[in-house]
């Protein structure tokens, strides 16, 4: 579907779309008596969007895992129009679950006052997932056809049609620091760069590991004649790294600690640093604290994009909606109990306490900003909060079909209570893979957007931490000094409004004066 926008706010020149936009907000201050003083603000901006969609390569850390093989399979199936038959009939390839490929945006209304929608990716030019060139690293050396079979995600009749594309495709050698992932993953680590000739793991030359990853990125870009590369971590959850003074608290200390092979430098941080130094976006799809302060500062120095943490696919996405609904309705959640069991390798890795702790932290933080939005329900001075319990158990029999059970226990008026229980079964990797597609497509799109305040001579890129990606992430990384936004509707609205302003449309609202005014 093609869309043409008739607006005086935009102009096109030399392959770029130029847009004028007035950013309106309200500055709120509290005086000595506690009264809130609200001052409307307005600032004029000019935006520039490069309309040329480049040739993009995607490098996955963990390409041989469930998410990696499912992503590769989904792109091959869609690109080659591979249909398959299951017990319910013929299934045609699609990208269901992807916002950029399978959702719509409201453009406005027609003459009758009814809403009109268009595909999300029709508003501005975006890369087509079918055009992505995909490769990556994995500590397991299985070719991708065998890795796909091991994952047990895709229907067998589809897998058999995909095997000819994958039999010779082996992941690049990755790096493996045993202390950061569960010991039960050691058997898979047969495709490791930092292994000695005697079979021992060498963690004493971490700067060499950075250089190896940088060389892999360079070779991948040159071999495939790519304009841009994006690196995304979809490998095992690591334990949290300790944030220590003079180790990973600044970019200089971080680089020095890598060269000294400090024990608190994680593999995911090695990949992040290599990507930043190569000037390619790096996205963390797992819950560990890859982006220690030194990594964020390094990204700022090199004007390189980073985004994370942890894919927000099922249970947590529901939580970010339901908790917002309750609090916005003036209902006070007292406790949220979340239970999961799953049988894939992710669950196997999370059965180790330190790796589970990383996941627990990312899941718990999802309601923080929602709670802080209502001081009527939650008194900050008394430390009022929600009791939030999270349990994850490994149960091999269920495979990739993760089972999630939640109970929301809330207080109503005059001592009443309300209990909402949800039982959710989802095919984990088939929810996570569309998120990877969206994170890559939107990251690339954001790299083509620049802005300047009216009166400035030069355009600027967005800040290094891509908070526009928050919609797809459990524990969204925020700019230092700013609190993350977890409410799903707020995250989606920011994306829609960015697209609207770039094409000269007003910020979306639901005043609907057409039907409400005389």
CA angle 469, 128, 212 (to 5 degrees): 70
Indicate the Cα dihedral angle 318, 100, 434, 390, nearest 10°: -20
Alpha-carbon gap, residue 125 to 121, rounded angstroms: 7
Q: Is 104 exposed, middle or buried (0-12, 13-18, 19+ CB in 10 A)?
A: middle
Q: Structure tokens of 269?
A: 């941080």
Q: Cα dist. 503→48, 99, 359 in Å?
A: 10, 19, 39
Exposed, middle or buried: residue 371 (CB in 10 Å: 0-12, 13-18, 19+)? buried
- First-to-last CA distance in the chain? 35
Residues annotated as catalytic (active site), given as ranges: 310, 359, 402, 474
Q: Are 314 and 404 in contact (CB under 8 A)?
A: yes
Shortest CA distance to 487 belongs to which of 285, 358, 340, 325?
Answer: 325
3-state DSSP: the chain helix, strand, coil percent, rounded to 5?
35, 25, 40
What is the β-pairing status of strands 306-308 and 387-394? unpaired
């Amino acid at each position: 579907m093609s869309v043409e926008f008739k607006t005086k706010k935009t102009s096109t020149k030399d392959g770029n779309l130029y847009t004028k936009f007035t950013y309106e907000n309200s500055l709120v201050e509290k005086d000595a008596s506690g009264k809130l003083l609200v001052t409307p603000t307005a600032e004029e901006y000019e935006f520039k969007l490069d309309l040329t969609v480049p040739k993009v390569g995607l490098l996955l850390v963990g390409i041989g895992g469930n998410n990696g093989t499912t992503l590769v399979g989904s792109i091959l199936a869609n690109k080659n129009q591979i249909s398959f038959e299951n017990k319910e009939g013929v299934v045609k390839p699609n990208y269901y679950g992807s916002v950029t490929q399978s959702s719509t945006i409201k453009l406005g209304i027609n003459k009758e006052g009814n809403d009109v929608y268009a595909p999300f990716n029709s508003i501005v030019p975006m890369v087509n997932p079918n055009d992505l060139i995909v490769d990556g690293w994995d500590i397991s050396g299985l070719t991708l056809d065998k890795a796909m079979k091991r994952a047990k995600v895709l229907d067998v009749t589809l897998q058999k049609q995909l095997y000819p594309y994958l039999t010779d495709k082996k992941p690049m050698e990755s790096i493996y620091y045993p202390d950061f992932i569960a010991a039960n993953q050691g058997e898979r680590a047969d495709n490791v760069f930092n292994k000695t000739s005697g079979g021992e793991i060498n963690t004493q030359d971490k700067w060499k590991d950075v250089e190896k990853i940088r060389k892999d990125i360079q070779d991948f870009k040159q071999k495939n004649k790519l304009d841009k590369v994006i690196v995304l971590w979809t490998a095992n959850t690591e334990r949290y790294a300790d944030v220590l003074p003079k180790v990973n608290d600044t970019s200089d200390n971080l680089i020095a600690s890598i060269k000294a092979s400090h024990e608190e430098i994680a593999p995911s941080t090695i990949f992040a640093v290599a990507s930043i130094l190569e000037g390619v976006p790096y996205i963390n799809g797992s819950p560990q604290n890859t982006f220690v302060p030194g990594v964020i500062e390094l990204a700022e120095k090199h004007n390189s994009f980073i985004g994370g943490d942890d894919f927000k696919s099922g249970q947590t996405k529901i939580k970010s909606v339901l908790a917002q609904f309750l609090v916005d309705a003036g209902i006070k959640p007292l406790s949220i109990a979340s239970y999961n069991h799953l049988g894939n390798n992710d669950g196997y890795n999370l059965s180790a306490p330190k790796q589970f702790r990383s996941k627990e932290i990312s899941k718990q933080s999802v309601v923080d900003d929602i709670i802080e939005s209502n001081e009527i329900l939650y008194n900050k001075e008394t430390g009022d909060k929600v009791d939030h319990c999270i349990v994850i158990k490994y149960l091999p029999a269920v495979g990739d079909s993760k089972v999630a059970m939640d109970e929301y226990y809330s207080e109503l008026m005059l001592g009443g209570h309300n209990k909402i229980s949800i039982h959710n079964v989802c095919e984990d990797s088939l929810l996570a893979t569309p998120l990877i597609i969206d994170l890559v497509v939107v990251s690339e799109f954001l790299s083509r957007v620049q802005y300047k305040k009216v009166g400035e001579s030069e355009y600027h890129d967005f800040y290094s931490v891509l908070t526009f990606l928050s919609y797809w992430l459990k524990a969204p990384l925020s700019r230092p000094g700013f609190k993350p936004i977890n409410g799903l509707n707020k995250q989606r609205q920011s994306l829609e409004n960015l697209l609207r302003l770039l094409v000269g449309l007003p910020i979306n609202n639901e005043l609907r004066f057409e039907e409400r005014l005389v």
